[in-house]
Amino acid sequence: MRLPNTKIFNTALLAVTIAGSLLLPAHAQSPQEKGLAIAVEADKRDLGFGDVTASMEMILRNQYGEEVKREMRNKTMEQDNDGDKSLIVFDNPRDVKGSAFLSFTHKNRSDDQWLYLPALKRVKRIASSNKSGPFMGSEFAFEDISSQEVEKYSYNYLRDETLDGREHFVIERDPVDAKSGYARQVAWIDKDEYRTWKVDFYDRKNELLKTLKVSGYNQYLNKYWRADSWLMTNHQTQKETVLNFSNYVFNNGFTDRDFNKNSLKRAK
Amino acid sequence: MAKKFFPVKNLTSAGAFGLGAVALLAAGSVLANEFSGHVASQTRLFMQAPAHQKQQQNDASASANLEYYHDWDGGNQRIAFSGFSRYDNNDSERTHSDIRELYYWRAFAHFELYAGARQVFWGVTETVHLVDIVNQDDAIENIDGEDKLGQPMVSVLVERDWGTLEAFALLGFRERTFAGDKGRLRPQMQIDANNALYQSSAGQQHLDFALRWSQVFGDWDVGISHFDGTSRDPLFIATPSADQETTLTPFYAQIQQSGIDVQATLGDWALKLEAVSVKEKAAGRNTALVSGFEYTLFGIGNTDADLGLLMEYQFDDRSGIRRRNSQNDLALGMRYTLNDVEGTELLFSLSRDLDNSSRFYSLEASRRLNNYWTINAEARLFSNMDENDPGFDLRDDDYLELELRRYF
């Protein structure tokens, strides 16, 4: 469960683009190049975090202000040259307690996902093309909470903007995957630490659908920034979901064996 | 009431031993441990008068499921327990308890060890579970073969680059549960479950072995398995009894069963195959397979809901007293997932026998009421049942089941 723009970056194509802009100083950086460079820099700053666990609390609020709570635990492991592996164990609501969700994020192809159903002791491989579907009935789509890879978007630098007293780059991200629920996203990334503070999501009709506001950033291991709270507001339904993170723990020493079908079955 | 609610029956000796172990360990140092579970009240309303005069019209029951686990040694050791109990107002057989799981697990550097009663599921398909053989069906719970009895075992699991290999020594046989005299969803002739026969002279003490290799190849999940031991599916031998009423005696043969299960998950498609080759001792070799797909339409009609369309073809060349419902059948289904806060789900399926046009309809629905309560419904209809079909005995047992669950 990582913040947007935090992924190891090393595809040749993108490297060439960057190299090109460095080698040709006379060449004015285009908005596309500048947008990409910002995404790449944000990604680079989170490189090498290794692994992390966190507790997650989701508060789903409907248009009448009624609330329900979800609780889960997440562990994530960074992969060399590919998207993260992550495992989410559900604690609440109680009927899904013990269910667990394993996903392998990939840069250039669809993710691999498995679900463990404790009542049947069954691990089911599930279709990962379900990107735009709601996660646990919340305002977060699967694609909002899965590991954000640089390669999953094309970029466009829009402007600089001050928000809450911080200087930001404002960039547009267009999902590469046709199955995405979004025509585009607009992200506010601060100039000092390249953290994402706000994202506007536009639906396929290019109308403003949701806004994500991120708050409570803390730095871990003197390098990696993680937020305590994500607030997603749906402008079309007036519903919102707060996703609170707590108990971030790094350096758990996970291996790939902590992220496979066998460990999914064992997850408690 | 409490005493009646937990009639300790079907407890395995391994289970009783393990309970003591849990009590001892609970006093030890705590890394992670937790109780959870649910209680439920269930009503089954049968739409027709029963075929047999002793059978009751409707039934009400209450069940409880309690789970506990305890991890220690840095997460390298675990004791897990899962116990189930049901009290049924009509059917004394359906009033039963079982230790679903009670095992000790330990991770060593190069392998994992399990000892105790466990539940192990193998397979990928939805309408028939062919390769899934480790656990006996708790058939009195549901006819769908998805409720299982705990199986005592010692098993070893290794994970390598070439896949996951699990070897099982299955200690002690669990007999299938059947509805009693007054219960519905049973054959016309009563099953004499207390006098089951075994092909092996070792009877219930026969030591069974199972082996399974599984691996993920990109979009493909593949498993190959082999089982050598007592068949979980009994044959029924008609036996005349003293009061001139013929009963059915379960006969558990010795079998060797090799199985393969494959799922390819390609975009919105899941393609599935399960196949087994079964050699029964002193009988022939048989083949069975189930294969099909599930295709999911995500976000139908601009809503959050998903609609899954599934189709599975079932084939089984066992004949005579070995004949299965799934000998040549086609199952079509729809899974409607609302993806709402209440987690509302509907699963409808229709199975049609291609030889004799018997039809079986099933509808399962579930919805969360709040964080602790859910309501579940299940309707099953046996239509146009052919008298040669093994499902013929259930022709008058169409039912609607409603269940209210409280999780804790």
Tell me, yes or no, if A99 comes closer than 8 A to chain B by beta carbon. no
| A93–B372 C-beta distance less than 8 A | yes
pTM of the model: 0.89
C-alpha triplet B227, B232, B233: angle, nearest 5°: 125
- pLDDT of amino acid A164: 93
Non-local CB neighbours of B10 within 8 Å, separated by 6+ positions: B96, B97, B98, B99, B149, B174, B177
Long-range contacts of A229-235 (CB under 8 A, 24+ apart): A230/A140, A232/A138, A232/A139, A232/A140, A232/A144, A233/A139, A234/A139, A234/A209, A234/A210, A235/A208, A235/A209, A235/A210, A235/A211
Residues of B in contact with A181 (CB under 8 A): 299
The answer to whether the CB atoms of B371 and A68 lie below 8 A apart is yes
Determine, for residues B265 and A126 on separate chains, whether the beta-carbon distance falls below 8 Å. yes
Tell me the C-alpha distance between A86 and B16, whole Å. Answer: 37
Tell me the nearest-neighbour CA distance from A134 into chain B, angstroms: 7
Each residue's pLDDT tens digit in chain B (408 positions)? 333 333 333 333 334 434 444 444 444 444 588 899 999 999 999 999 998 888 988 899 999 999 999 999 999 999 999 999 999 999 999 999 999 999 999 999 999 999 999 999 999 999 999 999 999 999 999 999 899 999 999 999 999 999 999 999 999 999 999 999 899 998 888 899 999 999 999 999 999 999 999 999 999 999 999 999 999 999 999 988 777 788 899 999 999 999 999 999 999 999 999 999 999 999 999 999 999 999 999 989 888 999 999 999 999 999 999 999 899 999 999 999 999 999 999 999 999 999 988 999 999 999 999 999 999 999 999 998 888 887 888 899 999 999 999 999
A-B Cβ pairs (cutoff 8 Å, strict): 101
Tens-digit pLDDT profile for residues A84-127: 999 999 999 999 999 999 999 998 888 999 999 999 999 999 98
In the three-class reduction of DSSP (H, G, I as helix; E, B as strand; rest coil), residue B58 is classed as strand
Which A residues, 46 through 85, put their C-beta within 8 Å of a C-beta on chain B?
A: 60, 62, 68-69
Give yes or no for A130 touching B (CB within 8 A). Answer: yes
A132 touches chain B (CB under 8 A): yes
Other beta carbons within 10 angstroms of residue B222's beta carbon come to 17
Question: Which one of A68, A112, A126 has the shortest CB-CB distance to B341?
Answer: A68
From the candidates A63, A92, A121, which should be mutated to test the interface with B, based on the most B CB atoms within 10 A?
Answer: A121
Residue A19 DSSP SS3 = helix
A178 touches chain B (CB under 8 A): no
Q: What are phi and psi of B21, to 5 degrees?
A: -60, -40
What is the Cβ-side half-sphere exposure of residue A225, based on CA atoms within 13 angstroms?
Answer: 22
pLDDT in single tens digits along all 268 residues of chain A: 344 443 433 444 454 455 445 555 556 789 999 999 999 999 999 999 999 999 999 999 999 999 999 999 999 999 988 999 999 999 999 999 999 999 999 988 889 999 999 999 999 999 887 788 899 899 999 899 888 889 999 999 999 999 999 999 999 999 998 889 999 999 999 999 999 999 999 999 999 999 999 999 999 999 999 999 999 999 999 999 999 999 999 999 999 999 999 999 999 8
φ/ψ region of B73 (left if φ > 0, alpha if ψ in -120 to 50, else beta) reads: left
Most A-contacting residue of B261, B263, B341 (CB-CB within 10 A), to test interface: B341
Chain A residues in contact with B298 by the CB 8 A cut-off are 127, 129-130, 132-133, 179
Question: Residue type at A26?
Answer: A
Residues 54-93 in B contacting A (C-alpha not used; CB under 8 Å): 67, 69, 71, 78
